[in-house]
Structure 1
Amino acid sequence: MKEKIGAGNTAEIYLWNDKEIVKLFHDSIHESLIEREFLASQEIQNLGLPVPKVGGKISYQNRTGIIYEKIDGVTLTELLAKDPLHVGKEAKRFAELHFQIHSRKSSAFSDICETLISHVNFCSRFTSEQKEKIATYIATLPTDQAVCHMDFHPDNILISEQGPIVIDWMTAGFGNPFADVARTVIILEHAHLPASIPEPVKQGIMALRHAFCEEYVNEYLTLSKGTWKDIELWFLPIMAARLIEGIPEGEKHDLYKQVISFL
């Protein structure tokens, strides 16, 4: 194993050799989640989507890792930070990529509705009555078997010579594609920025994210022939389920208020 080249909430990334990297998961990540990402990566590769080729699993100093093809490139976030004038063009490409993913059907993953209900039930902020109300609402939503990434945002898109490559499939599932779009919208519009960033810079980033989100939604709805209502239907369960994630407390507070207003 060579030098460390990146880190995230679930894992650290190291060079494995000249053509591969290893995603080495933190001790806190349950083995079942790692196995889920491994199997999801294999399935996505078999479906012909633009993803890094997946190798095997390894154990290193009591930690589990997955070997992936090394992709040379930058994240879409980094690309936009360097050249924000291309936000419209990149947002359209982002929408096209998301629509391409949703064109694939598979039941090899978890049902996203079942996952949402499980996450809501695990959240201590809700009463039993509120959990039941949310589960009842989810049961009324339209179903599908489209492949859904469920964490589709610019940090998970690598821009390479081969084009955009989608990474981090740990949360992949199958279901209604507008649920996946709704989660992307919620991340783009509601994710809090680090407190260390100066306020003027924050305002600039938020304006860029809003412009990107608006262009992305417009393009996706054109491609899918959907409506804003199709996306909006999923805000309640997606926001509620997000409350168990490792996001800032201020962001959780804002999402919780939104969920209660929906109920």
Structure 2
Amino acid sequence: MTDLGAPFATGRNADVYALDGGRVLRRYRDGGGDTAREAALMAHVAAHGFPVPEVYAADGPDLVMRRLDGPTMLGAFVEGRLPIERGAAVLADLHARLHALPLPAGAPTGTVIVHRDLHPDNVVLTPDGPYVIDWRDALYGPAGLDLAMTALICAEVSVDPTTDLAGAARALLVSFAALVGGDGVTAELGTAVAIRSANPTLTAAEASRVGEAAGLVVASVRDLP
């Protein structure tokens, strides 16, 4: 595709361009490999009723999808349009629904579909309800890994001295952990720490705070009533 103009949204490793017909193109800047696996998993979860944008085409680093109308959950938090406790409940419900889906043929037995990046900036609040985006890291594994990743990402924001969202992120972490249970967010925390520490999209400063964030997750669970 050519003559796309400027992207209307930019992430850590991809740019999103508006297309006609209510579609968007997400293009990975690093070449991104083949998006076919990502598109196939999105189609699978959509076929079983999980809220993801419809995928129209996948070609190399390009993914063409339906454009979603509405703010991200993070944006709704920042604008004061969504209470933290309500956002935590939405995240917990999305996890539960995702992990209850049937596996595609050939998936490892004893696993569930795990998104591995299900945080407020990857949830779009549309008039039809919340939709989950950015399935690049989705795999199969224990449900606890997904819960731990969400908790850890919230904790990373909580310990970031450069953001004004630290307090809100800490409140979200506590509310989320209370809903899914302490064991839910700590059972696979070590694996989540290893994955996040090796994430090439993190800056050196962000990667250096992953251990501190993990400690905050453990402390938050310990302090639950």
Q: Give the TM-score normalised by structure 1.
A: 0.71
In 2, Cα distance between the equivalents of 1:96 and 1:247?
A: 27
2:221 paired residue number: none
Q: Which deviates more, 64-73 or 41-50?
A: 41-50
In 2, Cα distance between the equivalents of 1:13 and 1:205?
A: 24
Name which structure has the greater RCO, CA cutoff 8 Å, separation 6+.
Answer: 1
Q: Structure 1 residues 210, 23: CA separation in 2 closer, same or farther (over 3 Å shift)? A: same
| SS of match in other structure, 1:214 | helix
In 2, Cα distance between the equivalents of 1:15 and 1:185?
A: 32
1:16 paired residue number: 19
Q: Structure 1 residues 37, 109: CA separation in 2 closer, same or farther (over 3 Å shift)? A: farther
| SS of match in other structure, 2:113 | strand
**CA displacement at 1:73 relative to structure 2:** 0.7
Q: Structure 1 residues 255, 22: CA separation in 2 closer, same or farther (over 3 Å shift)? A: same
- Contact 2:72–2:124, Cα closer than 8 Å, also in 1: yes
The within-5 A match list for 1:178-197 is 178-191=144-157, 197=162
2:222 paired residue number: none
2:176 counterpart letter in structure 1: Y
In 1, Cα distance between the equivalents of 2:185 and 2:99?
A: 14
- Contact 1:19–1:69, Cα closer than 8 Å, also in 2: yes
1:169 counterpart letter in structure 2: W
1:205 paired residue number: 165
Q: Structure 1 residues 146, 247: CA separation in 2 closer, same or farther (over 3 Å shift)? A: same
Larger Rg, first or second structure (1 or 2): 1
**CA displacement at 1:6 relative to structure 2:** 0.4
| SS of match in other structure, 1:68 | strand
Greater helix share, 1 or 2? 1
The within-5 A match list for 1:99-248 is 99-107=96-104, 144-191=110-157, 197=162, 202=163, 204-221=164-181, 228-245=182-199, 246-248=201-203
- Contact 1:150–1:180, Cα closer than 8 Å, also in 2: yes
| SS of match in other structure, 2:8 | strand
Q: Give the TM-score normalised by structure 2.
A: 0.82
| SS of match in other structure, 1:67 | strand
- Contact 2:152–2:213, Cα closer than 8 Å, also in 1: no
The within-5 A match list for 1:58-73 is 58=59, 64-73=61-70
The within-5 A match list for 1:31-42 is 31-32=33-34, 34-42=35-43
Identity of aligned residues (%): 20
**CA displacement at 1:230 relative to structure 2:** 4.0
- Contact 1:96–1:220, Cα closer than 8 Å, also in 2: no
- Contact 2:157–2:169, Cα closer than 8 Å, also in 1: no
C-alpha distance after superposition, 1:159-196 (max 9, x if no partner): 0111101001111112211110001111000247887x
Stretches of structure 2 lacking an aligned partner (at least 5 in a row):
215-225
**CA displacement at 1:258 relative to structure 2:** 8.3
| SS of match in other structure, 1:74 | coil
C-alpha distance after superposition, 1:195-227 (max 9, x if no partner): 7x4xxxx3x511111111111222223xxxxxx
1:82 to 66, 79, 83: 79
The root-mean-square deviation of aligned C-alpha atoms, in Å, is 2.6
**CA displacement at 1:232 relative to structure 2:** 1.2
| SS of match in other structure, 2:209 | helix
- Contact 1:110–1:172, Cα closer than 8 Å, also in 2: no
2:10 to 7, 10, 25: 7
Q: Structure 1 residues 67, 30: CA separation in 2 closer, same or farther (over 3 Å shift)? A: closer
1:206 counterpart letter in structure 2: A
1:47 paired residue number: 48
2:202 counterpart letter in structure 1: I
In 1, Cα distance between the equivalents of 2:17 and 2:106?
A: 27
